[in-house]
Chains A and B, each alone.
Chain A
């Protein structure tokens, strides 16, 4: 069975700084999808970024980028130029190639302060 591990329950960063959130996963599959979702205090789950395992190039979305290390089964999220609005819980998630259910990590609570 696939598992997703986020080893940092909480992190904090100053505005404008860069922060990296860690995620590791375990799977025997070769093709799959990885995601980072953001959950602000409003509770809404918002997709931040998505990576397809067969693509070697790391995904980027504006200030958000990932470091995808397939052999190490690592999928970290880097947030550049942190903003107060980035304060949220961040979830790493795995989806198998069949493309059905998401398996989530326990989340990392990120606090951005001024």
Chain B
């Protein structure tokens, strides 16, 4: 399996623009997580899905952030409009329900820079 695939690897945009980050989880995994990593706050959970349904979005910073999972093999994290303080590395991770219990497998992350 190719692992969790995130795109793009790097994104540079200007303040006010819409940004869409993409994630393809490992096939057969039931859970998908979005995390954000910053120097100040470390790694924080933004939202997670179970079988394509959002379960907990309490970590989403504000209404400018939205996430969707239209099917089992694809998820997006959208920021509209983007702000400089959104600059961070965004990770997607997936996890199987039963096999290898509770281990989360991470993608390589998307480094977002908002100018």
Contact = CB atoms under 8 A, between A and B. Distances in A.
A99 B43 contact: no
Interface band, chain A:
20 to 34
A55 B33 CA distance: 27
Contacts of B105: 47
B56 interface: yes
A106 B42 contact: yes
A102 B42 contact: no
Nearest to B31: A100
Contact of B48 (A47, A50, A100, A105): A100
A102 B45 contact: yes
B56 A100 contact: yes
Contact of A43 (B44, B48, B101, B109): B109
A102 B93 CA distance: 10
Contact of A47 (B31, B33, B103): B103
B19 interface: no
Interface in A27-52: 33, 35, 37, 42-47, 50
Contacts of B108: 42-44
Interface of B: 31, 33, 35, 42-45, 48, 55-56, 89, 91, 93, 95, 101-106, 108-109, 111
24 contacts: A33-B101, A35-B103, A37-B106, A43-B89, A43-B111, A44-B109, A45-B91, A45-B106, A46-B106, A47-B103, A47-B104, A91-B43, A95-B102, A99-B102, A100-B31, A100-B48, A100-B56, A101-B45, A101-B48, A101-B56, A102-B45, A104-B43, A105-B42, A107-B42
